[in-house]
Amino acid sequence: MTRERAERILEGAELVHSAETVSRAVDRMAVEITQALRDEFPMVLAIMGGAAVFTGQLLPKLAFPLEFGAIEVTRYANGTSGREIEWRLAPRENVAGRTVLVVDDILDEGITLAAVRDKLLAQGAKRVLAAVFADKALGREKPVAADFVGVSVPDRYVFGFGMDAYGLWRNLPAIYALKD
């Protein structure tokens, strides 16, 4: 991939949610999560690398004590279609008896998030909640639903605000969709 090719990807993309909309959604989610978990001491696990940008903006706005860790699991590996689940960094923290908040960039088909939830529950988590920044509107039921959602996105390949297009553009403050 060249810089010129990367720039063409962005130039040819369609804006889905502006940086302002993204920022307001993070603020709203922080309030909702704080209201739900303010009396708990949860473990917050970010799914890297997509959740890095979202998590970095969300955590400072959560007004309660928490423990933080990360996991890395993917079905995409810089591609645009899902494959088998690949655990790159399994949960290391002791989640037994804990409320766990999983933070991710997008709830697409729900296969990855369902696998994460199942693994954490098998490790003894009391309950597992999910905060996803974007929920893709697929028009069909998913194996898992998010407890906290920032924005809805169309059933297209989206990128920006932690989500990538061919491994690129996670650093954008807005969300874009590749042209169909």
CA distance 67 to 43: 5
CA distance 90 to 84: 15
- CB proximity list for 51: less than 8 A, separation 6 or greater: 103, 104, 105, 133, 162
Assess whether 108 carries a catalytic annotation: yes
Nearest to 38 by CA among 14, 18, 61: 61
Phi, psi angle pair for 72, to nearest 5°: -135, 120
CA distance 99 to 127: 5
CA distance 119 to 101: 13
Which of the residues 104, 105, 108, 135 is marked catalytic? 108
Tally Cβ neighbours within 10 Å of residue 100.
Answer: 24
Q: What is the dihedral of CA 26, 30, 31, 34, to 10 degrees?
A: 170
State the catalytic residues: 108
